[in-house]
Amino acid sequence: QGQILVLGMSSSEVAGGQIGKASNIDIAEAIVQTLLDELNPRGIYLAVQGCEHLNRALVVERELADKKELEIVNVLPSLHAGGAGQLAAFKYFKDPVEVEFITAQAGLDIGDTSVGMHVKHVQVPIRPILRELGGAHVTALTSRPKLIGGARALYLDDPIRKS
């Protein structure tokens, strides 16, 4: 409840093209809508990362931006600046805004878009069951609290990496 998943996606890669060269709004809408259908009932926020032309800014719900005191930036995505994923987010979110930075608990990367900059430390790779979507490579990561203190420290069980 209240956690954030960052999505980075290249609809071009899913379609079998080169990232940024064959943007496809239908593919992006299908991916964003599917994720929202899964995340919304669980109370998990979706943040959709844009491309480097928007400094990898993210579309989020205004409610999340207000709750986390995220600085809203003034830009509207387009197919080749922000990308199809951000356009889909603007279509399906209730009150979408762009923010420049976020610290999410997890990330989903469809098409090698590099979402790690938006996921908190310590990042833990997840091997998804589906490793390709169309022509796109799929990776995911989650995060866990840092283990600090050295050899004498005691730790809570790590729910991600079980011994």
pTM confidence score: 0.89
Neighbours of 4 (CB within 10 A): 22
Q: Where are the alpha helices (DSSP H) in 54-109?
A: 62-67, 84-92
CATH number for position 47 = 3.40.50.10360
Which tokens sit at 54? Answer: 């928007």
Please report the pLDDT score of residue 155 as a whole number: 78
In a domain, 160, yes or no: no
In a domain, 67, yes or no: yes
In a domain, 128, yes or no: yes
- Distance between CA 70 and CA 102 in Å, rounded? 7
**Largest alpha-carbon pair distance within the chain?**
54
- Distance between CA 12 and CA 32 in Å, rounded? 15
Instruction: Inform me whether the pLDDT recorded for 43 exceeds 70.
Output: yes
Average pLDDT over residues 94-104: 97
What share of the chain has pLDDT > 70, as a percent?
96
Average pLDDT over residues 82-98: 96
Structural domain that includes position 89 = 4-152
- Distance between CA 97 and CA 61 in Å, rounded? 6
In a domain, 162, yes or no: no
- Distance between CA 130 and CA 153 in Å, rounded? 37
Residue in the structure block whose two tokens are 């356009």? 87
Q: How confident is the model at residue 158 (pLDDT cuts 50, 70, 90)?
A: low
More confident residue, 55 or 97: 97
In a domain, 14, yes or no: yes
What share of the chain has pLDDT > 90, as a percent?
74
Please report the pLDDT score of residue 148 as a whole number: 84
Q: What are phi and psi of 61, to 5 degrees?
A: -70, 140
In a domain, 163, yes or no: no
Q: How confident is the model at residue 59 (pLDDT cuts 50, 70, 90)?
A: very high
Average pLDDT over all residues of the chain? 92
Average pLDDT over residues 80-91: 94
In a domain, 158, yes or no: no
In the chain, how many domains are there? Answer: 1
